[in-house]
Chain A
Amino acid sequence: MNYINHEQVAAKTKSRLIKNNILKGLFLAATMFGLIVLAILLFRIVTQGSEYLSFDFFTRFASRIPENSGIKSAFLGSIYLMLVVAPVSMFLGVGTAIYLEEYAKKNKMTDFIRINISNLAGVPSVVFGLLGLTIFVRYFGLGISILAAGLTMSLLILPVIIVASQEAIRAVPGELREASFAMGATKWQTILRVVLPTAIPGVLTGSILALSRAIGETAPLVVIGIPTILMFTPNSLLSTFTALPMQIFDWTKRPQVAFHDVAAAGIIVLMTLLIIMNSIAVFIRNKYQKRF
């Protein structure tokens, strides 16, 4: 007597395997979709923008004529903006992370701070723009300035830096702290000389990635109301300015098609900055991050 009908089993197995292979192909296609979109996007932008990309593009101000347009004020504005955002957001972010990981007691207050940070990370950037416009531009009287925009951006990326720094600090093994305490070091000495130096590659990697988000962020700048056509470069923290994504937004909105190519040239510069920042972050992660 034959309990197993081998033909039937073979037929069923075959159809199941065929199904498996078809779906595998579909899953692979879905995965490739993202890669293909990225390739098309980069290809389009490079072919569109390379025509306008030249050395002069960096030394000219914005103009009504596409051929004469440049990104001098926008490029410098973005750099200055980062000079505000980097120290402010890292100081606040790392400080908060040290507090939460090293000092905070397990109580309701700490829970509240944690939940608050994760909710803050989900607030749309345009709402941060409204915060900046009301608090920094109007109440603090900073005006439409690098400082006002920089503080707004710092708060926007703060949750990202806090979470990255927390992870880096948590990865420092407890033995290192105990060894330091055993040598007679105080808690703060241990944090400053043992925990932070060990955690700093992780902190830097996370912070640079957060900054690369800030440099491409447009919506808060739009809401704060920074201008797009600016014929001078900013000379102080309180002077008005424009930034790369803002300039790209302005060129994209214009009806003349030639300006779209200028926008593409601006996007090439922005994306190059992003790639440089990301490469630095990856380099630091691979070179200096210790694994325990």
Chain B
Amino acid sequence: MSMKEPKTTISVQELIAEKSNRGLLALIEKIMPKLLFLIAAVSVLTTIGILFTLIVETGIFFSRVPIIEFITGREWYPFANSTPTYGILPLVVGTLKITGIAILVAVPIGIATAIYLSEYASRRVRKIIKPILEVLAGVPTIVYGFFALTFVTPILRSMFPEISIFNAISPGIVVGIMITPMIASLSEDAMNSVPNSMRDGAYALGSTKLEVALKIVLPAAISGIVASTVLAISRAIGETMIVAVAAGSTPRFDADLTGSIQTMTAYIVQVATGDAGYGTTIYYSIYAVGFTLFLFTLVMNMLAQYISKRFREEY
């Protein structure tokens, strides 16, 4: 080397310090992956905790109420003094009413929004609208509940006087508004991943934008669109505060939408805000209802994953 000798002299102490430092480093290298694995295990423990909670407490519930009555019973009167009945079907029907209305609102609007953003809108318009949709998706559900009760319900009642203050239609519509951004944004992602060469081919044959959107892009992106709808259904089933505020607390096994109903989630809220003591059958019933709710959403989520994996077209 033509450069000057390095100024520093080698000190034995420093070398020893460095070596022991190395030992510490090596120890950290060994420990960190294990520590991080333990942290990652928390998410698995959470799932185990949820399953454990639901299964154990639901088990206690079923030691008091026959499981057949719970699954097939058409009457849900847990607060009855003499003979309380625990048939979950009225709560399931209530949940399905809300979910059905929400899907009727959200699927057309959500997919139409996705088509507009992905096929028609300029980049500038998209840049403005997408963040606003994100805001709409971020509005807390209690705020939507307030909106349903104090704005949508009065409007509906002024148009159709037979609708009561608590009904299935108003919260159903508002749950639909809540899940619309989710369908729009996931469907748009699916449409965006359709390659432009397919669009260009159709344009070259003289197609209009509409024909390209409906006959080329929509079929190519259908797995993503269906998956987004299934996920949205799962969200609507699990939605709690909107229905707790605006749908009422009358479990009913019928098809009426204008009167007060009760969903699975709203029942859990009703018991939690009431004064049912720890250890009563009513207390354990919220776990049985929660377990049912959990199974519904789990099936929907797995279905969405299956659809987007199984039917995805790779380009």
Q: Is the CB–CB distance between A30 and B112 below 8 Å? A: yes
**A128 to B294 Cα, complex, angstroms:** 10
Nearest CB of chain B from residue A87's CB, rounded to whole Å: 13
A28 to B238: give the CA distance in the assembly, Å: 30
Residues on the A chain within 8 Å of B85, using CB: none
Stretch of B86-94, B137-145, B156-164, B194-202 with 4 or more beta carbons under 8 angstroms from chain A:
B137-145
Q: Tell me, in angstroms, the Cα distance from A260 to B37 when the chains sit together.
A: 48
- CB atoms of B113 and A34 under 8 A apart: yes
Residue of B nearest to A247 (CB): B142
Q: Contacting A122 at CB < 8 Å: which of B41, B210, B234?
A: B234
Contacts A38-B136, A119-B302 given; indicate if A223 touches B142 (C-beta within 8 A).
no
B77 on interface, CB distance cutoff 8 Å: no
Q: Check: B286 CB closer than 8 A to any chain A CB.
A: yes
On whether the beta carbons of A34 and B133 are closer than 8 Å, the reply is yes
Are B290 and A126 in contact, with the CB atoms below 8 A?
yes
Interface assignment of A193: CB less than 8 Å from any CB of chain B: no
Separation of A213 and B142 alpha carbons in the complex (Å): 12
Digit string of B223-240 for contact with A (CB within 8 Å is 1, else 0)? Answer: 000000001001001111
Partner of B46, one of A28, A41, A158, A217: A158
Task: Establish whether residues B298 and A37, one from each chain, have CB atoms under 8 Å apart when the complex forms.
Answer: no
A267→B293 contact, CB < 8 A: no
Residue pair A186, B272 in contact (C-beta under 8 Å): no
Q: Tell which of B116, B133, B143 has the most Cβ of chain A within 10 Å.
A: B143
Known: A99-B39, A249-B245. A34 touches B142 (CB 8 A): no
The A interface, classified by DSSP as helix, strand, loop or mixed, is: helix
Whether, in the assembled complex, A204 has its beta carbon less than 8 Å from a beta carbon of chain B, the answer is: no
Write the nearest CB–CB distance from A266 to chain B, whole angstroms. 9
Residues of A within 8 A of B112 (CB): 26-27, 29-31
With a cutoff of 8 Å between Cβ atoms, the chain B residues found around residue A274 in the complex are 138, 140
Q: Which residues of A contact B305 (CB under 8 A)?
A: 118
- Give the distance in Å from the alpha carbon of A219 to the alpha carbon of B139 in the complex: 14
Point out residues on B near A: beta carbons under 8 Å.
25, 28-29, 32-33, 35-37, 39-44, 46-47, 49-50, 53-54, 57, 108-109, 112-113, 115-117, 120-121, 129, 132-133, 135-136, 138-143, 145-147, 149-151, 177, 180-181, 184, 208-211, 231, 234, 237-241, 244-245, 265, 268-269, 272-273, 278, 286-287, 290, 293-294, 297-298, 300-302, 305
Binding site for B on A (CB under 8 A): 16-17, 19-20, 23-24, 26-31, 33-35, 37-38, 40-41, 44-45, 48, 91-92, 95-96, 98-100, 103-104, 112-113, 116-120, 122-131, 133-135, 138, 155, 158-159, 162, 186-189, 209, 212-213, 216-219, 222-225, 245, 248-249, 252-253, 260, 263-264, 267, 270-271, 274, 278
24 A–B pairs (Cβ distance < 8 Å), ordered by A: A20-B210, A27-B120, A29-B112, A33-B113, A34-B136, A44-B147, A44-B151, A103-B32, A113-B43, A122-B301, A123-B297, A124-B238, A124-B265, A126-B238, A126-B290, A131-B50, A134-B287, A188-B32, A219-B265, A222-B240, A222-B269, A249-B244, A263-B146, A278-B138
